[in-house]
Amino acid sequence: MRTSTHRGPCLHSCRAFRPCRTQAAAGNEPPPPSGPADTVLWGGTLPSRRRAFLGTLSASGIALGGNLGGVTSSLLNTQPAAARALRLDCLFPVAGYLRHIDAGLGFEFLHPSSWLADQTLARRRAAAVEAQSSLDPPSLAQRQRRSSGEPVIAFGPPGSTGEENMSVVVQDANAYGVLFRLQNLGSPQQVADGLLSNVIARPGSNKTASLISATERRDGSYQLEYTVESSAPAVWKRHFLSVLTGDSTGRLLTFTVQVPAELWTQSEETLRPCADSFAVWT
């Protein structure tokens, strides 16, 4: 049996290629390839520049869109103001924060990117939205079970007990056909005094509230900072930072950050920007 050996890796197959007409006419047949690279150049074709560019562009788009290795967040962190102006922080963490936007109720705020949404509230909100779109009107019992003081959204650190969180409460404050206006309740100091003494630490509640500050922001909302201490049945002390604002339909929206009082010093730098970011559109 006759056997054949090949000095080059593709010598036999490459000789089977027909040389181009100009080379054949000139009598200059290309030399046998000496390696895989020469074989590709002689007998095959390399990808076009356009295809290579599109492939690189697609790979870059996947990496950026998926924030692989945090590459997108790293890029956005170089221009955080521009990224937030474009609302890119709704998708990717920017400077350690994500933006939550509620288009239905018309508000937004920043929260630490590591904090998670309260799933119980999220399920209740989804059920409420579904009920609103239903053709059947809600029953009277369902209307009575709805709590006007319950948050519509809340975020907190993963694995926490709930003592550290931020939430938004939305209430219809119109009464007797009069459109609600926050300023009608009085100055920030008056609102704070009434809230702390009549609601949060009302007589007989075993709670003591201490007001730290009450100011009006540029957008007309009120920002209150205070502590609440409970003596029974559980003993605790928490630090609160709240923003109260009204919208054009007469609703009162309250954003509140709360943490154990002993943690406020180390948490303030992270959580105060969240309260500052709370904004209402309607």
Note the pLDDT tens digit of each residue in 24-57. Answer: 445 566 666 555 555 554 445 555 666 655 555 5
Are both 123 and 255 inside the same structural domain?
yes
User: Element (H or E) spanning 211, and its range?
Assistant: strand 207-216
- In a domain? residue 29: yes
Closest CA to 208 of 227, 191, 183: 227
| pLDDT band of 145, cuts 50, 70, 90 | very low
Distance CA 70, CA 77 (A): 11
* Mean pLDDT over each residue of the chain, to the nearest integer: 78
- In a domain? residue 158: yes
Task: Give phi and psi for 264, each to the nearest 5.
Answer: -65, -40
Are both 40 and 100 inside the same structural domain?
no
Are both 112 and 188 inside the same structural domain?
yes
SS3 breakdown of the chain: % helix, strand, coil, rounded to 5? Answer: 40, 25, 35
Distance CA 172, CA 282 (A): 14
Over residues 80-109, mean pLDDT:
87
Distance CA 56, CA 69 (A): 17
Are both 27 and 137 inside the same structural domain?
no
Are both 143 and 272 inside the same structural domain?
yes
Q: Residue 207: which residues within 8 A CB-CB, separation 6 or more?
A: 200, 201, 228, 229, 230, 231
Lowest mean pLDDT among 28-32, 225-229, 253-257: 28-32
Are both 229 and 104 inside the same structural domain?
yes
Distance CA 117, CA 185 (A): 32
Cβ–Cβ under 8 Å, residues 255 and 237: no
CATH of the domain at 212: 3.40.1000.10
Are both 136 and 250 inside the same structural domain?
yes
Are both 105 and 173 inside the same structural domain?
yes
User: What pLDDT is attached to residue 16?
Assistant: 45
| Residue type (1 letter), 62 | I
Are both 36 and 163 inside the same structural domain?
no
Per the structure, how many domains does the chain have?
2
pLDDT digits (tens, 9 = 90+) for 164-201: 999 999 999 998 888 999 999 999 999 999 999 999 99
| pLDDT band of 88, cuts 50, 70, 90 | confident
Distance CA 270, CA 186 (A): 30
User: What pLDDT is attached to residue 214?
Assistant: 98
Are both 196 and 104 inside the same structural domain?
yes
| pLDDT band of 144, cuts 50, 70, 90 | very low
Are both 100 and 201 inside the same structural domain?
yes
Are both 24 and 151 inside the same structural domain?
no
Q: Domain range spanning residue 143?
A: 96-280
| pTM for the whole structure | 0.69
| pLDDT band of 100, cuts 50, 70, 90 | very high
Lowest mean pLDDT among 128-137, 179-188, 197-206, 212-221: 128-137
